[in-house]
Amino acid sequence: MTISYNWLCEYLTISITPEKLSAVLTSLGLEVENFEKKEQVKGGLEGLVTGEVIECGKHPNADKLSLTRVNTGSGEALTIVCGAPNVAVGQKVIVAPVGTTIYPLKGEPVTMKVARIRGQESYGMICAEDEIGLGERHDGIVVLPADTPVGLPAASYYQLKEDWIYEIGLTPNRMDAMSHLGVAKDVAAYLAIHDNRENIMKYPYTNDFNKDRQGTEIEVKIENTQACQRYCGVVIDDIVVKESPAWLKNRLKSIGLRAINNIVDITNFILHETGQPLHAFDADKIKGNAVIVKNLPAGTPFITLDEKERKVGADDIMICNGAGEPMCFGGVFGGLESGVTAATKRIFLESAWFNPVTIRKTSFGHNLRTDAATRFEKGVDISNTANVLKRAALLIKEIAGGTISSDLIDVYPDPKPKKQVTLTYKYLRRLSGKEYAPAAVKKVLTSLGFDIIRENKEEITVAAPFSKPDIELPADIVEEIMRVDGYDNVAIPQRITVSPSVEAFGFQTALKEKTGNYLAGNGFNEIFTNSITNSAYFDDEILQTSVKMINSLSADLNIMRPSMLETGLECIVHNLNRKNNHLRLFEFGKTYKSMGAGRYEEKEKLCLYITGMIREASWKEKESKSDFFYAKGVTESILQISGLDSWQFETTDSRELEYGLNVSVGKTAIATLGLVKNAITKRFDIKQQVWYIIFDWEKLHTLAAAQKQGYTEIPRFPAVQRDLAIVLGKQVAFETVEQTVRKAAIQRLESVKLFDVFESDKLGAGKKSLAVSFTFLDREKTLTDTEIDAMMQHIITRFEKELSAEIRK
């Protein structure tokens, strides 16, 4: 939300410095994300003056140029060569004399010098709007009113003021602060409490609204009173659609809005002043002189202001004419046929309250994220629709020369009561940690616009203003009190009361923290990717069970991810495009699946992504590239820190992997690892190998939680290592060798490790040699050679019998 200091101060009766305003906004919980001084026009129009064209003729050497003499009130008239088609004698203009620097809207600053143009000397420049940063027009020079004094500094004529701009961050519940007037109310409440000031607010509403003459009435009917609970309107005749005055354009420009014409600019001004969206219809285009607020059949075609045909949804609230034809998506976007144009002479001005849920569905359903929709979907002040409409009508009458030709139409079939909330002082003390005096509570709440319904020593009952639709609970009232009083004014308590409790997911959280710390300590970076992804990544089989978004924000984000691989690859390619080629990433996240009949499945996963080098070359070590065995080692390490002590690997045929392994504990599959298929990485324009590990986190932590947690004494007796070289078929994997040893069930065998693989024709066709290390340990005594030899012989016998292995001597 962008706030202009000068604009906001219009609604305060006291002065406040820009720095203090920034501090007050922060204290009120309106986070000031940016605060900067801003010139209305770059350079402040310094050196520019008003002048009068006293002579104007054709340039002797160029048909499209004019040779003028301009009086700037400084003595001798200036000779200026001008290329504008609209320059004429008697015009009051803006002049940049020699030595003046102008700041065009586009391009670099230009300092005026004596220039020779087609043989004629020119002593300055008669300026167009865009050449001095006042606007975007370049169809001719700026022509000022005939009564403009000559020699007046342009900065004085345009009444330029220094301004300060605040970018404030709002939480979704703060609709009341989505306007200058709303923020001013908060500031006034704060100053009333902390500076002990009264009557600080200055509202822009007046009692001057009256019908000028009776014209054609427009009847308003609301058929869907749930979607539109209040609708106000007024007819204004004899308007002239033209450029807005400087003060209005400057107000809009200060918050980054472009001026369009006086009618549109007034509705934009009112929106940012009060937070109430308005819409103007060309009254001559409203068939039947009637406005009907209703739903239309799904699929009804409607051409919007952007000249696109859209199909109306069954839940969209539509503003229709007397013939039942749509004129506007209520509260969201207008229609092409009923919009205001330069030829419009009569308008019907709308101010309404629309149901936030209805507006949000329409806005997202048609991908129309307008300023009006963002206000309505958070809930506008239903009590202010008529006041705002009167304010806008009077501005149009003043600026566009209109006459109000109808009574103010106000259809409000079921007036809403204010929400009443009772707050006990005991609850206030418990939640805030501060003892508030009842009088102080009452003063804060009344300064914020709350009505006091009843009060006693124990509690206070208030009615919340309609401008605060988020007020529902006593906790909401506590927040308002603390916000205005200042969170920093809550003292640190001398005693803290804690209720002991057992965390429901304590072990799972601890295991996640432990695993994350291990990965971070080993060079991995944690990522957090979007759980909404692109359906184009997946085949039809996967999409059949995918969870599709009903109202997607974009065509590229239209399903809940059925797999975390694709979102991880998006992160990888983002880094690769920025020359960050060596990546080790991990993410805790969820995948989603439709089970049919309105049922859905969410599964929590831990995913790891590895690509590039795991160690770059240095003076001491050679580079080390990521590979299958590194991925397998990381997988086993995670299983170990989870407290698991036995698991099995088996090859897998995966949709995502060229080759890989499934990991299971007993009969429970808990992980898959392997190399991502080249076809998938190629789709993401990734030209290097990516290793992918995915854990079923729910199964992993369930198995880990079932393990007995304890400590084992460090062995007092030495372990013994024996090595064995065996020759067997090339097709026999080490996994088979390891399983054969485990089947032997030798209790004093601690570990089995492969430390060398040798292949040669000397071993025989289709043969290889594996060098395996065995570690034995007896925790009660020192093992003897006889005992060790017996265990080794048992292992050798099994190798020879089950694997047809030959023992290398």
Element (H, E) at 477: helix 474-485
> What torsion, rounded to 10 degrees, do the Cα atoms 175, 176, 181, 186 define?
-140
Residue 66: left (phi > 0), alpha (psi -120 to 50), or beta? Answer: beta
E strands, 570-713, are 583-596, 599-611, 613-615, 624-625, 648-651, 657-665, 668-676, 690-696
Q: 486 pLDDT exceeds 90? A: no
Residue 36: its pLDDT value, please? Answer: 87
- Tell me the mean pLDDT in the region 224-250: 92
What whole-number distance in Å separates Cα of residue 212 and Cα of residue 397?
10
Residue 493: its pLDDT value, please? Answer: 74
What whole-number distance in Å separates Cα of residue 88 and Cα of residue 56?
6
In sequence order, the 6+-apart residues with CB closer than 8 A to the CB of 317 are: 224, 227, 228, 293, 294, 295, 329, 330, 331, 354, 355, 358, 359, 362
Q: 755 pLDDT exceeds 80? A: yes
In tens, the pLDDT along 687-725 reads 999 999 999 999 999 998 888 767 778 889 999 999 999
- Tell me the mean pLDDT in the region 621-649: 91
Where residue 502 falls among pLDDT bands split at 50, 70, 90?
Answer: low
Q: 513 pLDDT exceeds 80? A: yes
Residue 553: its pLDDT value, please? Answer: 63
Residue 549: its pLDDT value, please? Answer: 86
Residue 496: its pLDDT value, please? Answer: 73
Residue 581: its pLDDT value, please? Answer: 93
Q: 97 pLDDT exceeds 90? A: yes
Where residue 229 falls among pLDDT bands split at 50, 70, 90?
Answer: very high
The pair of structure tokens assigned to 97 is 């004399």
What whole-number distance in Å separates Cα of residue 110 and Cα of residue 114?
13
In tens, the pLDDT along 471-480 reads 999 999 999 9
Average pLDDT, the chain: 91
- Residues above pLDDT 90, as percent of the chain: 68
In tens, the pLDDT along 558-574 reads 899 999 999 999 999 99
Q: 734 pLDDT exceeds 90? A: no
Question: Which whole-number Å values give the CA distances from 697 to 403, 406, 628, 702, in the listed order?
Answer: 70, 67, 21, 8
Long-range contacts from 534-537, C-beta under 8 angstroms, 24+ separation: 534/558, 534/559, 534/566, 535/559, 537/566, 537/683
What whole-number distance in Å separates Cα of residue 130 and Cα of residue 109?
12
Question: Which whole-number Å values give the CA distances from 712 to 646, 685, 765, in the listed order?
Answer: 17, 50, 47
The 3-state DSSP class for residue 25 equals helix
Residue 397: its pLDDT value, please? Answer: 93
Amino acid at residue number 525? N
- Tell me the mean pLDDT in the region 368-388: 92
Chain-centre distance for alpha carbon 301: 31
* Residue whose tokens read 């005055």: 245
Chain-centre distance for alpha carbon 597: 33
Residue 162: its pLDDT value, please? Answer: 80
Higher pLDDT among residues 72 and 621, named by residue: 72
Eight-state DSSP code of residue 286: S
Poorest-confidence range of 33-47, 224-238, 394-408, 532-546?
Answer: 33-47
Q: 504 pLDDT exceeds 70? A: no
The pair of structure tokens assigned to 332 is 């969201």
- Residues above pLDDT 70, as percent of the chain: 99
In tens, the pLDDT along 307-326 reads 999 999 999 999 999 999 99
Q: 503 pLDDT exceeds 70? A: no
In tens, the pLDDT along 381-434 reads 999 999 999 999 999 999 998 899 999 999 999 999 999 999 999 999 989 888
Chain-centre distance for alpha carbon 154: 41
- Tell me the mean pLDDT in the region 148-166: 88
